[in-house]
Amino acid sequence: MSNIKKNIEEIMRKLPDDVLLVAVTKHRSIEEIEKVLEAGIFDLGENRVQEFREKQEVLPQNIRWHIIGHLQKNKVKYVVGKVFLIHSVDSVELARAIDKESKKKELTTDILIQLNVSGEESKFGLDPNQLDQFLEDISALGNIRIKGLMTIAPNTKNIEDLKDIFTTTRAIYDKIKENVNGVTNIEMTYLSMGMTNDFDVAVESGSNMVRIGSGLFE
């Protein structure tokens, strides 16, 4: 546990200044999370709504919470207005549910579209071929703002395969960014990709937001 600070320092040294570290704190204790905060990291990622709610209740207000796991529509009400960013929006239905709840609460929720670039069936995420239709379908929703993309690479050590996934995602991100003229609810800012075992490749390939869990706590 005493290594958390050192692990964070080591990772921060490897990250360029313009890459944001989201510390993934799922399954971690409050004591462990306090060490992360002491090291100066206030962006925390959780993948379960229930766990997020329990932790938010007891931890400081200045934390920026990120929902990174699959989100069910019936849980949307527990996160809208309480999180900095939802990384895992992968259907029009979910986007609509977030928009509706945000409207009710009179706010705008920032979201990322999770893309399944590798095509693995076990992974959540929108098929990139459906992205244009998705963007068209959500273009009229006034209470969500698309802030970028998120992807999870396959669990492989093959650097070329990883690069392929990450550079493909970066190219899609750039293309949307170039074409958003006039679409008011799209504001491409974040490309969320890279975890403990692949963040170096992700950053090399153009990520500007990494989600690192196990590497902080080992």
Ligand X SMILES: *Cc1c(COP(=O)(O)O)cnc(C)c1O
How far apart, in whole angstroms, are the C-alpha atoms of residue 102 and residue 7?
Answer: 37
Report the DSSP beta bridge partners of residue 110: 145
Instruction: Closer to ligand X by CB, 7 or 185: give it.
Output: 7
Tell me, residue by residue from 143 to 182, as one string, x for binding to ligand X by CB under 6 A and - for no binding: ---------x------------------------------
Question: Total residues at the site for ligand X (CB under 6 A)?
Answer: 14
Instruction: Please give the torsion angle defined by the CA atoms of residues 123, 125, 128 and 134, in that order, rounded to the nearest 10 degrees.
Output: 160
Phi, psi of 36 (to 5 degrees): -65, -45
Q: Least distance in Å: CB of 217 to ligand X?
A: 8
C-beta of residue 30 within 8 angstroms of C-beta of residue 50: no
Instruction: Closer to ligand X by CB, 189 or 197: give it.
Output: 197
- Report which residue type is found at 124: F
How far apart, in whole angstroms, are the C-alpha atoms of residue 51 and residue 67?
Answer: 11
Task: Give the residue, chosen from 188, 195, 201, 202, that forms a contact with ligand X under the rule CB under 6 A.
Answer: 195
Under rule CB under 6 A, which residues in 45-84 are in contact with ligand X?
47, 68-69
Q: Least distance in Å: CB of 155 to ligand X?
A: 9
Q: Which residues bind ligand X (CB under 6 A)?
A: 24, 26, 47, 68-69, 152, 195-197, 211-215
